[in-house]
Amino acid sequence: MAYDQILAQRIRIALQDIPGLQEKKMFGGVGFIIRGNLACGVNGDNLIVRVGTEKHQSALNQPHTRVFDMTGKPMSGWVVVEPTGLIRDVDLRQWITQGVEFAQTLPAK
């Protein structure tokens, strides 16, 4: 499955100053990893963000979001943000920031 290369590039630009950032192809798209922990990624045309279980429901209450579920088992702590919620750079950065902040709370791998 192809993924949105433009969205991936927008994320790369937003994350360019994050130390220890790695990029890895996964789930038919690309993931952005900080200190060994996945923060966010691109799956198809969507952004996936790891917000953590504490912020999961509040993230799902935001417009243009849904549960991340690739296998029939929803992933708690993860949300999908649809393209209409990512048009403005400020919105994309807000989501990316949540993923980065959560990934930075986890022990390095």
Residues in CB range of 4: below 8 A, 6 or more apart:
42, 44, 45, 46, 83
Query: What is this structure's pTM?
Result: 0.93
Task: Note whether 33 and 24 are within 8 A (CB).
Answer: yes
Q: State the total domains in the chain.
A: 1
Identity of the amino acid at 38: L
Domain carrying residue 39:
5-105
35 contacts 109 by C-beta, under 8 angstroms: yes
pLDDT digit of tens for each residue in the chain (109 aa)?
A: 689 999 999 999 999 999 889 999 998 899 999 999 999 999 999 999 999 999 999 999 999 999 999 888 888 999 999 999 999 999 999 999 999 999 999 999 8
| CATH number, domain containing residue 11 | 3.90.1150.30
